[in-house]
Structure 1
């Protein structure tokens, strides 16, 4: 499915809270798979969150958890919009957020038990991530100091 994001907006959620849109975007995946436990509507979420809206509909979320100069990221796209460029939109914006914080790397760990680990790993690799020996897929933040 290739659909243009005609009026996509990148909106910071402060404070981030669990809600029905996050449940919908997960598309039936267990929130515990991503370390969220069993949240209910209104529960506070850690880290930094943004949502992508297009035409007033939430299409996906990006999460950034920075520590020690790197950041773990999470890209969530509603099932109906996977393959439409929403994930790339989120990833581009997460990279910009990481660059503004002068971070070195962004990384993702595809959790054990994920129903589609190969397509997720392939997608991240196609976007410049490389696996390391501790199970992370890492990418240098554009503009990061190569030291």
Structure 2
């Protein structure tokens, strides 16, 4: 399987993002109640499979030298490595912006929160005293494919 990392030039809420979240509400990730076509803040990328179907998304919100990230794998793509692909590319994007850390805050209401925290831990994230999971950005990483 080959995945493509595609920068969304003007990210908007769409059916693909809604489908990728599955049963998880957008409010869980600070996205509010977006309507189709609504402009989204931050920087977004889409992951497409060989058939051109969206199988995942990544979001980077960089402030003060760090970046909060969101990794979304479509329900049918979970367990295939697409989440690791999104994370790897988000880390490259953060490195290309000379950021220090990427971090994620798993919402306490997330139905699979412990699994997500364990997955992030297995990918090098460590917990902080304020509930963030952080990972140092490797310097010199090349940006992902567009």
| Category of TM-score, reference length = shorter chain | over 0.9
Specify every segment of 5 or more residues in structure 1 that has no aligned partner in the other structure, as ranges: 1-5
Question: Following TM superposition, by how much is the alpha carbon of 1:91 offset from its aligned partner in structure 2, in angstroms?
Answer: 0.3
Name the counterpart of 2:26.
Answer: 31
For each residue in 1:73-128, what CA deviation from the matched residue of structure 2 results, as whole angstroms up to 9, or x when unmatched?
A: 00000111111100000000000000000000000000121111110000000000
| Pairwise CA RMSD | 0.9
Aligned to 1:11, which of 6, 9, 18? 6
CA distance in 2, matches of 1:106, 1:143: 12
Aligned to 2:129, which of 133, 137, 141? 133
2:98 corresponds to 1:102: yes
Specify every segment of 5 or more residues in structure 2 that has no aligned partner in the other structure, as ranges: 141-146
Question: Following TM superposition, by how much is the alpha carbon of 1:53 offset from its aligned partner in structure 2, in angstroms?
Answer: 0.1
For each residue in 1:17-65, what CA deviation from the matched residue of structure 2 results, as whole angstroms up to 9, or x when unmatched?
A: 0000001000011101101111111000000000000121000000000
**How many residues are paired up?**
139
Question: Following TM superposition, by how much is the alpha carbon of 1:7 offset from its aligned partner in structure 2, in angstroms?
Answer: 2.4
